[in-house]
Amino acid sequence: MMDEKTISLAIFIIAYILFVLLPNRRSWVAIIAASLLLLTNALSLKEAFSAVNWNVMGIFVGTLVVADIFMESRVPAYLAELIVDSSRNTAWAILYICALTGFISAFVENVATVLIVAPIALSLARKLKMNPMALMIAIAVSSNLQGAATLIGDPPSMLLGGFAKMNFMDFFFYQGRPSIFFAVELGALASFVVLYFIFRKDTQKTRLVNVEKVRSWFPTFLLAGLILALAASSFLDTGFSYLAGLICMAAGVIAIFWKKLFLKGPFFRTLSTLDWDTTFFLVGVFILVGSITLAGWIDSLAGFLSGLVGQNIFLGYTLLVFTSVLFSAFVDNVPFLAAMLPVAISMSKGLNINPSLFLFGILIGASLGGNITPVGASANIVACGLLKKEGYRVSFRDFMKIGVPFTLAAVFAAYLFIWFIWKN
């Protein structure tokens, strides 16, 4: 009989294959796979519960409710009119929305960012009568990219900051040198060119008649307050353990009661219309990743890489960056990064170099690698879930047509920047 370690890896691999083959049944696959881990005792109920990042789940559910009333306030539709009317053409309107996404994501967790910007993007797509799929994918990957720019932008950044004892300003200048922020922004410029190339054919200039009337500005103020609270929470809850999720859930409760009082919407109908399909998929994916982490598979990989590098600094740096890209395309980057950071420190000591080279390289690879596939990052899963709710199915091929060139451009630019700044 197979041992628990082998069972966890087998279930993980089969589940991810089925995610590709059965994209419309991903939540069922994830939950069934998680259930099999429990039934085979490869994972205990306590371990499965602990594997789920309930903070991210709180952010997802709470912000989804706030985003819903933000949409119903008609402010996103109003903003869509302003963006289109002030843009040179549709392509530039899309790029402006992606830039807005990146700005928000530098200070707010990626899942929350996608949920905040999505209503604007969907309103724009409806007004232009265009398929929103490419736009929503562009928003997701833009969010994942800029989330690595600051200490508070994304859990991997917080993980690195805690491990290396880096404060907020260290992400801009560290030990007298340009830090992660500038590497990410250089990658953003490179990926911006890719996005323009993708959307360059959308050259129509559509002048919209301003017909949208804002029903209420309260959801906008609630959303702005939520953004500020999430940014502040990163300083209070540096381990990204609970506070952001609680804040989003509290905002969601406020949103539900406001909708009940102001829009006279049924209380339980609001809850029933939430994207429970994506919610269960996220829970299942967390459990799957937790199983292979607890089984030691990620640690085994880290040990193998440490022995493979030897004394070649450039090989070690390149291997760490692009291995992180590859695995983060399929495995959640938080547990992967947690396992790899100690290896990077150990390798740096053996080579007698500044550990920042390897640490920063891993962060770039792990954060951006998730942009390759629709299941590589929580923000991608959420974006695809929102599209599904609108009636659009996103296949791996659909996502990778944008994700792969975007990721390669951003990673190479940031990879070269970090090497030339931190190699000595």
Model confidence over 136-145: pLDDT tens digits? 999 999 988 8
Q: Where does residue 393 rank: exposed (0-12), middle (13-18), buried (19+ CB within 10 A)?
A: exposed
In a domain, 136, yes or no: yes
In a domain, 54, yes or no: yes
Please tell me the predicted confidence (pLDDT) of residue 211: 60
Q: Residue 219 sits in which domain range?
A: 8-422
343: nearest Cα among 369, 372, 323: 323
Please tell me the predicted confidence (pLDDT) of residue 272: 65
Please tell me the predicted confidence (pLDDT) of residue 404: 92
In a domain, 255, yes or no: yes
Please tell me the predicted confidence (pLDDT) of residue 321: 92
Domain tally, the chain = 1
Please tell me the predicted confidence (pLDDT) of residue 60: 79
**Residue 395 CB coordination number (10 Å):** 14
pTM: 0.72
In a domain, 2, yes or no: no
Please tell me the predicted confidence (pLDDT) of residue 122: 84
In a domain, 174, yes or no: yes
In a domain, 418, yes or no: yes
Please tell me the predicted confidence (pLDDT) of residue 177: 93
In a domain, 1, yes or no: no
Distance of CA 214 to the CA centre of its chain: 30
Instruction: Flag residues of the chain having pLDDT under 50.
Output: none
In a domain, 3, yes or no: no
Q: Give CA separation, 116 vs 102, 219, 377, 404, in Å.
A: 12, 11, 17, 24
Instruction: Answer yes or no: are the C-beta atoms of 141 and 102 closer than 8 Å.
Output: no
Instruction: Answer yes or no: are the C-beta atoms of 157 and 110 closer than 8 Å.
Output: no
